[in-house]
Structure 1
Amino acid sequence: MNFANACRLTLLAAIWGASFLFLRLAVPSLGPIWTISARIGLAAVFLALVAQALKQGFAWQHWREYLILGIFNTALPFLAYGFAARTLNASMMSILNATAPIWGAVIMALIIRKMPTFKVCLGLLIGILGVAILVGFDRVVSQTGAALGIATCLSATLCYGIASAYTKLKASHIPSFQVAHGSMWGASLFLLPLFATSQPISTPTPVVWLAIAGLAILCTGAAYLLYFRLVREIGAASTLTVTFLIPVFGILWGTLFLGEHIGSNTLIGALIILLGTALVTGFNPLASRK
């Protein structure tokens, strides 16, 4: 990995880490459904404009894949994080997000009916231990609704695992940009009935609108373009290392801009979860530098 791609990978982690900060700013005013609907809808429009500029046609024949991935890779996990943002801080959400590859490995093992290796099983157990340490000793857990928030975060990463397995088995032949663009419209269509029947909690301030713009344009539209460029240039395995960097920035942004308290259990739990994820995914830091 050259210096330019290393910078791009770090930038992507910083952007995705900021999504939890933006959620904490927007959800109290707009509510989860309006926040996520605005995020996905604006991102879909942004990617449509990019597609027009790049003269990329819309492959309608893949509408089924767009809808399924839109639901499991975008709409449901984004909604889950939106609801979790009402009670959990940005740091904890970003750390729990790192469990997504663990779910992906488990789901693939179930689908192909093959027992995971000892290394993968060990990583799974370590990841569970890390989650237990993270949530078992954090004062955030004592707040009303925190347990439900943790459960929704883990359900979001489960959805990512399902989407990852589906992509490998059913959608790997579709160009990456088409998947990103089409799935945004699939997610928007899925959320439309919820959006039409809900209302924002209060009148949004300029800060809230900036947070929505950050979520839609920066953390979704632009981040997807950056992500797929990295996949093309350094490969999917090396790009996966962004998973290990997102919690770093999630904690950093939460501490700097929201004044979140970071306890020793947060850092220990995060490190153990990342160790488990590394074992499950077969991550090798030396190989990723080649």
Structure 2
Amino acid sequence: MSVSSVLRLFLLASVWGGSFLFMRITANSLGPAFLIEGRVLTAALCLLLIGVCLRYRLNLLSNIKHFFIIGTTNTAFPFLMFAYAAQTLNASTLAILNSTAPLFGVIIASIWQKEKLKLKATIGLMIGMLGVVFLVGHQAVTLGDDGVLAIFACLSAAFMYGFSANYTKVAPSVTPFENAHGSMWAAVIIVLPLLPFIPIREAVTAPISLSVITLGVVCTGFAYLLYFRLVKDDGPASALSVTFLVPLFGILWGTLFLGEEVGINTLIGALLVITGTILVTGFSLKKAIKNN
């Protein structure tokens, strides 16, 4: 992995870790529906502009079913669940729970793709889930039922990410840019009917508007392009390591900008989840570097 790729990797992790910071800032004011509609619409417009400038075509109608599946499982539903959870949980917890997606991906693959779970992956699942239990137990004590429901929402989102990852193995062959662009427009349509039922709670201020724009342009549109560039240059194995870095940045940004306290439970939970994910995915930094 080149120096430029390592820098892109850390930049991507910092951007995705920052998405939980911005959701935490905006969720209680906008509510999940308006927050996510603003996020995906801004991202879709950003990608449209990039597509026009770079002359990338989007074959929307010929792949509309595919885009709606991706738009639901990889964008609209998980985004809404994390936005709901952001009303209760801190940015650190959101980022840690997001990193459980590969755990669910392996479980789904064992059922759907008939992939046999190895002993190392099984141990990783147990360790990762222990980390989740550690977080759930603490949130149940400090936040009550609201905290448990929020964590369940995050895990549901992570499950959908795992499902989406498995779906892409049997999905139509579409370019990474089309996947990102098409799924964003599909998500815009999917979230739109929810707006009348989940209204805005408070007046929209300049900081809130700026946070939503940043979520859409930087944490979604720009991040997708950065991720796909990383996959193209260094392969999926190297790009996968971003999963382990996102919680670290989520904790860092939450502490620096929101004054969130990082308790021992958060650190232990993060360590267990990240360790479990590494074991489950079989990720090896040495192999990733050697293959590049």
Could you say whether these structures have the same fold, taking a TM-score greater than 0.5 normalized by the shorter chain as the test? yes
Q: CA deviation at 1:78?
A: 0.1
Structure 1 segment 77-88 matched on structure 2, within 5 A: 77-88=78-89
Match of 1:287 in 2: 287
- Asked if 1 retains the 8 angstrom alpha-carbon contact of 2:238 and 2:285, the reply is no
Please give the alpha-carbon distance, in whole angstroms, between the structure 2 residues aligned to 1:130 and 1:151. Answer: 14
Match of 2:15 in 1: 15
Please give the alpha-carbon distance, in whole angstroms, between the structure 1 residues aligned to 2:51 and 2:144. Answer: 44
Match of 1:62 in 2: 63
Match of 1:242 in 2: 242
| Residues 234-243 or 114-123, more deviating | 114-123
Q: Secondary structure at the match of 2:56?
A: coil
Please give the alpha-carbon distance, in whole angstroms, between the structure 2 residues aligned to 1:56 and 1:140. Answer: 51
Equivalent AA in structure 1 for residue 151 of structure 2: I
Match of 2:204 in 1: 204
Match of 1:115 in 2: 116
Structure 1 segment 131-170 matched on structure 2, within 5 A: 131-138=132-139, 141-170=142-171
Please give the alpha-carbon distance, in whole angstroms, between the structure 2 residues aligned to 1:228 and 1:140. Answer: 40
Structure 1 segment 224-263 matched on structure 2, within 5 A: 224-263=224-263
- Asked if 1 retains the 8 angstrom alpha-carbon contact of 2:139 and 2:148, the reply is no
TM-score (norm 1): 0.96
Equivalent AA in structure 2 for residue 20 of structure 1: F
CA root-mean-square deviation: 1.3
Match of 1:186 in 2: 186
- Asked if 1 retains the 8 angstrom alpha-carbon contact of 2:82 and 2:154, the reply is yes
Match of 2:38 in 1: 38
Equivalent AA in structure 1 for residue 81 of structure 2: A
Q: CA deviation at 1:197?
A: 4.4
Segments of structure 1 that go 5 or more residues without pairing to the other structure are: none
TM-score (norm 2): 0.96
Segments of structure 2 that go 5 or more residues without pairing to the other structure are: none
Structure 1 residues 168 and 141: alpha-carbon distance in aligned structure 2, compared to 1, 3 A threshold = farther
Identity of aligned residues (%): 46
Please give the alpha-carbon distance, in whole angstroms, between the structure 2 residues aligned to 1:17 and 1:202. Answer: 25
Q: Secondary structure at the match of 1:56?
A: coil
Equivalent AA in structure 2 for residue 186 of structure 1: A
Q: Secondary structure at the match of 1:7?
A: helix
- Kindly tell me the number of residue pairs found equivalent between the two proteins: 289
Please give the alpha-carbon distance, in whole angstroms, between the structure 1 residues aligned to 2:18 and 2:286. Answer: 27
Equivalent AA in structure 2 for residue 5 of structure 1: S
- Asked if 2 retains the 8 angstrom alpha-carbon contact of 1:138 and 1:263, the reply is no
Match of 1:91 in 2: 92
Match of 2:102 in 1: 101
